[in-house]
A and B are shown apart, each in its own frame.
Chain A
């Protein structure tokens, strides 16, 4: 069949709004959403409360006081708010996406919905966007709560640049959540059983968090020459290590957040003496320079999200509808 004959007619986005609104309403009214929100609040509240306590007592020399709420690692907790989010965001995204497509199969609604005048594109895209919107709503709410609490307890208003960096952090966090949402939806298309897809997504999450750093360092030490002779050797090794680590979206997220919330961060890799020349130690970078520094990380997250979504799309298009 020549391609011109096989080309389908009508917009692939017909009905996407209906799917989006329905899925969004489902998410927002679901018990699961409530549980996930409680989960995030519980995980986030403790580090934030402790950092606020510390910040009130100790005079922090850092001029970015508000950003310290996010990044301070209180002694009692041992984990900062962003580190907690790094861990929790994937869980939330998996919770929102793991049964999005196979759930329709199991409820036997898929063939009925697809017999309405919409393409599969609209169903998948609508579901993804609804998941992302839900996630964004939850995250923005959390962010505002943290900011509001900080305002009340610290009694100092955040500076404009702090707000800008905070918003940047929010965007990165949403992209990070989007990547994990795409991953969990991929598994939900791949497997008919919701339990299997949840297990696979959670397995990948644990693998990237617990095992991947060990594996990466093992690979690096295996690749390392007997002794490191030059700076070039060392840099090459570091590049390999970071390259491997950056395959995990969590690394991209934490690097991007590090540069955004710690303005004095000048580089995410090893710092060479040449780069130090002329720099004032501890002086913050302007916001746009920080952004420039993490541009690859942001692009990487978004590109990863799009790639996984594209794979999901291809698998879904080829799938048989019949149960």
Chain B
């Protein structure tokens, strides 16, 4: 289950002297959800288009399921499902007619196509609006139809460009659940987004883009360790004593940073919550809150870009 389905080596795209994508390397394994994260204009969509062979790379190479998107685009596109940012469908056609067109482009036999369309739209709960014109569809429904297209295609790799943008929180959760469903079906998913906390919950690994380069890559915990430092961050809210000094005296604590009025952020090399609680209470302090801080991607992201800005 750990074979590589997609690999980019030294992938570069130059637009009129500007390096939109600058020598990036990454690979995606079967059944993995890989997140491309980064600010707008960081080169995420360009990378996706090069993976599909819709834009020619200036340098570097891509391997998708053993095919080269430049030389064998048809083979690649037959196996990869793509949901573009703000996907569009033919408004004057019904959902079924739109999917039929895709099925014909895929060269599916008619009967096979009808079965697949029925199955795919059922899986995204669009079966009852299948014969309605797409012009009546909401943004979310169009997004679902795009997912249905990928399901119908039986893609081995799904590339989703900003799939959650413009969706309400409820639809976003449903969409992420659908993405997990694709993963369970053995599909490798590549998704790009700037909605970090949402992406964090589904991605196995992420790559953080900055100005055309992959700045960081790995699991969320790995990235947090890399950027925020290793260890267990803990949030302490307390009053009534010299809390900072007490915290620093606890064994294993590496760093204590004030986080607003009466709150501190403690980084330690082990779980120090019990000791911290004991020390504060025994020295007469009033402990109000003691929380284990999970590293959030947003924090990693903000922290990283702050560092980059300071370095510049």
Q: Are B82 and A115 in contact (CB under 8 A)?
A: yes
Q: Are A116 and B86 in contact (CB under 8 A)?
A: no
Q: What per-residue 1/0 map shows which CB atoms of A281-323 lie under 8 Å from chain B? A: 0000000000000000000000000000000000000001111
**A6-B70, A7-B71 given as contacts; is B84 within 8 A of A113 (CB)?**
no
Q: Are A108 and B86 in contact (CB under 8 A)?
A: yes
B13 → chain A closest CB, angstroms: 10
User: Which B residues touch A117, using CB under 8 A?
Assistant: 73-75, 77-78, 105-107
Report the Cα distance A157→B87, complex, angstroms: 57
User: Which B residues touch A14, using CB under 8 A?
Assistant: 74, 107
| A4 closest partner in B (C-beta) | B71
How many Cβ-Cβ contacts under 8 Å join chain A to chain B? 91
State how many residues of chain B have any CB contact under 8 Å with chain A.
34
Q: Are B105 and A107 in contact (CB under 8 A)?
A: no
A243 → chain B closest CB, angstroms: 40
Report the Cα distance A247→B200, complex, angstroms: 62
Report the Cα distance A116→B106, complex, angstroms: 7
Report the Cα distance A111→B49, complex, angstroms: 9
Report the Cα distance A18→B91, complex, angstroms: 18
| B84 closest partner in A (C-beta) | A111
Q: Are B88 and A10 in contact (CB under 8 A)?
A: no
* Residue A21 is within 8 A (CB to CB) of chain B in the complex: yes
Interface centre among B52, B71, B88, B105 (most CB of A within 10 A): B105
Q: Are A115 and B70 in contact (CB under 8 A)?
A: no
Find A19's partner among B84, B92, B105 (CB 8 Å cutoff).
B105
Q: Are B54 and A5 in contact (CB under 8 A)?
A: no
Report the Cα distance A322→B77, complex, angstroms: 17
State how many residues of chain A have any CB contact under 8 Å with chain B.
31
* Residue A112 is within 8 A (CB to CB) of chain B in the complex: yes
* Interface residue ranges of A16-41 to B (CB < 8 Å): 17-19, 21-22, 26, 30
Q: Are A119 and B90 in contact (CB under 8 A)?
A: no
Q: What per-residue 1/0 map shows which CB atoms of B51-92 lie under 8 Å from chain A? A: 010110000000000000011111101101111101111111
Q: Are A112 and B84 in contact (CB under 8 A)?
A: yes
Task: Sort A-B residue pairs by CB-CB distance and give the 8 closest, nearest first.
Answer: A108-B88, A18-B104, A115-B82, A10-B74, A116-B105, A117-B78, A109-B88, A111-B84
Chain A residues close to B by CB (< 8 Å): 5-10, 14-15, 17-19, 21-22, 26, 30, 107-109, 111-119, 320-323
